[in-house]
Amino acid sequence: MTATAVATTSTPAPARPRRTWVGVLIGVLLVVLGIVSLFVGVSDVSVATLLEGGADGTAAFLLVASRMPRTVAVVLVGASLGIAGLILQMLVRNKFVEPGTTGVSEFATLGMLVTIVLWPGMAIMGKMAVAAVFGLIGTWVFLRVIRAVPVRQLVLVPLVGIMLGGIVGAVTAFFAYRLDLLQSLGQWSQGSFASVMQGRYEYVWVAAVMVLVAWVAADRFSVIGLGEDFATNLGLNYRRVVAVGMVVVAVITASVLVTAGMIPFLGLVVPNIVSLIIGDNVRRSIPWVAGLGATFVLACDLIARTVRFPYEIPLSVVVGIVGAGLFLWLLLRKGSRAH
Amino acid sequence: MTLTSSRPLLAASLALATAVALTGCATADADADAAAAADPADTVTYSWDRNTAGEDEDPQFEATTVEVPKNPETIVVFDMASLDTIGALGGEVAGAPLDSVPDYLQDHLAADAFNAGTLFEADLVAIEAEQPDLIIIGGRSTALYDDLSEIAPTVDLSIAGSFQETLERNTTFLGEVLGAEDAAAEALAELEAGIEEAQAATAGAGTGLGLMVSGGRLSAMAPSEGNATGRNARGGLIYDVFGVEPVVEDVKAATHGEPVSFEFLLEHNPDFLWVVDRDAATGEENAQAAAAVLDNDIIKQTTAYQEDQIVYLDPTAWYIVFGGIDTTRIMIEDVLQIAE
């Protein structure tokens, strides 16, 4: 009798402790995996060897030169890719878009190819800038096409994006093939952290800055997600917020591409899972998306490092398998709104 | 992700060549019985097992024998190693996929050489118009057999078995076709001696690792264990042909070696790094992209770096052509760098 009374008076309450619990779990996992990541690798880096000082301090050197950069890069890439997916989903008002399903990644890849062909000696920062500009063009083209094609069905929007990406990808592949760069293109666009080390990962900090920008503008993105008319009625400069969102998505995509290559599904799966747990308020979901994205990529990278030890399998393979499974689960799960 | 390499094709050609190696029927000699029907002075017989299935199908092999005219006037070549050998034996090629011919093989083309298409797609009209006497395919162009064999006698000189077996078989056969048997035998003897000299140089030199650098990523190459058809063979030849002692034994023959980290190099610390710079294979201006990738603090701790024993191999020779006479000379010179 009392039980029913409680249930009727406070319907939203039961969900709250569960959310907190999940949040704590993600946080703990992130920290644990981050520490594990520091001590997993080909060379022997452990607390013992660190304390010993090792032979001429090799362990400490590797910790600083190789393990820490890799772990930081993985965390930043995971966090920022999740955010890029989240922002894009708000801009398009569709739960099934991410840089990989809207052609943004393919445009950025084309940008990279252009720099490699025209300015092979260019610094990585420059390559990233060009890739970001191409990614920006890609986002713009996608938004225009979506606007021009009156598709409001959920699944059609990413389909249009995938087609767009397919066309751009084909153009990229054509030029890479003609220029004998297909192999190289495949190599660096394949997601992997194997060659990340000090001096070769710092560009992901740019993505971290973009995450901050997203956080600052979070409430505006929430409003944008309600539609242009609604946002304008609330006195929001719709175009400006969309522009900021486009820049955030393009720059994150480009910096991840330069550092690790393409990582599929992440921007799609992570925001959707977070949305299931805590809903669609962008300000509240940003730390969740960032934390879950980082944890997800950390776990996948650890698998990639250890499955065929001492060799590595490409991270994108692991993420592809795990991410595709999660994506299917999201689609097929009971009560999914995708049908 | 949308970009895929030509793996089905690779699988097909690999399977084809494996079968050829197994049956061991790829003989270049004009066998008495085979040549009995035709005039032995005018033709050379060439036999191999041809894969008749499509590139995504399970291989189906069909013993194929082709009579090739001696001293053909017009030769069209889709196989770069064969172009190399024909040129080195004093022959000239009337047509080839011109975009795929590396610089150092340009001399082997006739002055008015025509473009025969690409390695994957032949320009049948152009070839038909030239009325060639002989067409040579191999490797990537293997699938062109059906179309090309209707135009002229077509032989597939793909790699089969080990590197040396292929080199000997193809050089002997082409020597016979061109009427340059002596030059072929001479070249083979010279290359054999060169390889032995290179082996002597690597013998006491310590361990080595074949490393491919591409797009900023590292791949460890594996010994190909006598089957030089796999792409891995390109880095693996350093062990198979030139006797370098692998620093790690169990690198599995994956398509392009095994992705490894810089840490891997430091941990296994080979005495020599044999680097194939995939990005430099495409043009002079990109040359030594691998050197930039390998210029970092971890590599600087390795023996290979400290002893100045990072050897850059000619990417075109090791990665794209391999198997021709001049190409093998380049490979020998590359290895002999360590003897100086």
**What is the DSSP pairing of strand B61-69 with strand B43-51?**
antiparallel
Distance CA B117, CA B99 (A): 8
pLDDT (0 to 100) of residue B340: 66
Arithmetic mean of pLDDT, A35-57: 74
Q: Could you tell me which chain A residue has the CA closest to the CA of B120?
A: A177
Q: How confident is the model at residue B262 (pLDDT cuts 50, 70, 90)?
A: confident
Q: How far is CA A132 from CA A75, A103, A112, B30, B42, in A?
A: 21, 13, 9, 62, 64
At A266 the three-state DSSP class reads helix
pLDDT mean over A32-47: 83
Mean pLDDT of B6-18: 48
Cβ within 8 Å, pair B297-A198: yes
Nearest CB to B5: which of A58, A183, A262? A183
- How do residues A196-250 score in pLDDT, each as one tens digit? 888 778 888 999 999 999 999 999 998 888 888 888 888 888 889 999 999 999 9
List all residues of chain B from 70 to 129 with a beta carbon under 8 Å from chain A.
Answer: 99
pLDDT at B16 over 50: no
pTM of the model: 0.77
Chain B residues with beta carbon closer than 8 angstroms to that of A43: 263, 266-267
Mean pLDDT (chain A) is 84
* E-assigned strand segments in B107-242: 109-115, 134-137, 154-156, 207-214, 217-220
Q: How do residues B265-280 score in pLDDT, each as one tens digit? A: 888 889 999 988 876 6
At A202, list the tokens.
């710092």
Peptide bond connecting A287 to the previous residue in cis, omega within 30 degrees of 0: no
Nearest chain B residue to A113, by CA: B215
Task: Say what the pLDDT of residue A13 is.
Answer: 46
Question: Mean pLDDT score of chain B, rounded to an integer?
Answer: 80
pLDDT of residue A17: 67
What's the gap in Å between the CA of A192 and the closest CA on chain B? 9
Higher per-residue confidence, A74 vs B315: A74
pLDDT in tens, B204-228: 888 888 888 877 788 888 776 666 6
The per-residue pLDDT for B35 is 41
Are the Cβ atoms of B259 and A316 closer than 8 angstroms?
A: no
How open is the CA angle B3-B7-B11, to the nearest 5 degrees?
175
End-to-end Cα, chain A, rounded Å? 38
Query: Prior bond to A310 cis, omega within 30?
Result: yes
Rg, C-alpha atoms of chain B = 20
* Chain A contact present for B316, CB below 8 A: no
In this prediction the ipTM stands at: 0.73
* pLDDT of A31: 93
Q: Is A153 left (phi over 0), alpha (psi -120 to 50) or beta?
A: beta
Tens digit of each residue's pLDDT (9 = 90 or more) over B107-134: 999 999 999 998 888 999 999 999 999 9
Could you tell me the strand order of the sheet in which B134-137 lies? B109-115, B93-96, B75-77, B134-137, B154-156
Give the number of other Cβ atoms within 10 Å of residue A36's Cβ: 13
Per residue in A273-298, pLDDT (tens digit) is: 998 888 888 888 999 999 999 999 99
Alpha carbon A185 to chain centroid, angstroms: 20
Contacts of residue B4 in chain A, CB cutoff 8 Å?
186
- Output the pLDDT for position B184: 94
Helix (H) or strand (E) holding A154: none
